[in-house]
Amino acid sequence: MDKDELVKIITKMVKETVAANDKLLVKVGVSGRHVHLSREHMDILFGKGALLTKKKDLMGGQFAAEECVTILGGKLSSMEGVRILGPLRKESQVELSKTDSIKLGLKAPTRESGQIKDSAPITLVGPKGAIALIEGCIVAKRHIHMSVEDAKKYSFENNQIVGVKVTGERGGLLGNVQIRIDPTYSLEMHIDTDEANAMEIKCGSLLEIVK
C-alpha cells in the first residue's frame, strides 16, 4: 500500500469516528396507556380526599401510581387496570395508543399532552364511582424531553420538530417528533406501544436525533 492510499484510509476512518461522535442519541421510554386525574375526578373515582400512592418515580416530578381505573369507550368495550400517573392535574386526560382507541371505538386525536379541547369522550370507572368525560382522550404525540442545558448545547428550540432514526430489521425514520424543553426534564424520548412495537423499539433503546 502506498503512502497516499494509507492517508486516504486514515482520513476516512477519522471522519467516520467524528461523525459517530457527533450523533445525538436519545434514550427511549415507551408509554403504555395511562390516565391523569383532576382532584374533582379523583374524589369521584376513589372517594373524597383520596390520595395517589407512588409506585415509581418518572421524569419531571411525575410518578406512576398504584391506583388504576377501568376505561370504557363508545363500543362499550372496556380496558381494566389502566394506570394513573401522578401528581393530580388541573384537567383529567386519558392517553391511549391508536390500537387501544380503535378497540374502544373512539376517535382519539393525536395531540400534545394537555391539549384536550374537542378530543374524544371516554368513561372512567374507579372503586368508588364513575365519570363520563365529554373530552379528554388523546393519542400522545411523540416527543423528546430536553433540559435547558442540552437544548443550548445542541441548539434546539422548544416545539422544534425533528426526526429520529431507528435501526434494525424494522427500522425507519420517525418524523414529526416534537422537542419539549423544560428545566425539570432530562433527555428522553417518549413514544407509545404502537410506535415501539411497529419498529421493534425497546424501552431504553438509544436512537439518533436527525434535524
* Nearer to Zn ion among residue 36 and residue 190 (C-beta): 190
Which residues, in sequence order, are CB contacts of 170 under 8 Å at separation 6+? Answer: 198, 199, 200
Give min distance, CB of 72 to Zn ion, in A: 25
* Nearer to Zn ion among residue 111 and residue 190 (C-beta): 190
- Among 23, 9, 11, 27, residue whose Cα is nearest residue 187: 27
Give min distance, CB of 89 to Zn ion, in A: 14
What is the 8-class DSSP label of residue 143? E
- Write the binding mask 2 to 41 for Zn ion: x where contact by CB under 5 A, - elsewhere: ----------------------------------------
Which residue number places its CB atom closest to Zn ion? 190
Q: Is 111 in the site for Zn ion (CB under 5 A)?
A: no
* Nearer to Zn ion among residue 50 and residue 58 (C-beta): 58
Give min distance, CB of 185 to Zn ion, in A: 8
Euclidean distance between CA atoms 95 and 37, whole angstroms:
12
Give min distance, CB of 145 to Zn ion, in A: 6
Counting residues that bind Zn ion (by CB under 5 A) gives 1
Euclidean distance between CA atoms 102 and 133, whole angstroms:
18
Q: Is 141 in the site for Zn ion (CB under 5 A)?
A: no
* Nearer to Zn ion among residue 41 and residue 190 (C-beta): 190
* Cβ count within 10 A of residue 69: 25
Give min distance, CB of 48 to Zn ion, in A: 30
Q: Is 190 in the site for Zn ion (CB under 5 A)?
A: yes
Is the Cα torsion angle 108, 110, 116, 117 positive or negative in sign?
negative
Bridge-based pairing state of the strands 24-31 and 188-192: parallel
- Write the binding mask 150 to 189 for Zn ion: x where contact by CB under 5 A, - elsewhere: ----------------------------------------
Q: Is 125 exposed, middle or buried (0-12, 13-18, 19+ CB in 10 A)?
A: middle
- Among 26, 4, 21, 22, residue whose Cα is nearest residue 177: 26
Q: Which residue stretch of 47-55, 99-107, 163-171, 190-198 sits at the interface with Zn ion (rule: CB under 5 A)?
A: 190-198
Which residues, in sequence order, are CB contacts of 37 under 8 Å at separation 6+? Answer: 45, 84, 88, 89, 92
50 is written with which cell numbers?
A: 383520596
* Nearer to Zn ion among residue 34 and residue 190 (C-beta): 190
Question: Under the rule (CB under 5 A), what is the footprint of Zn ion?
Answer: 190
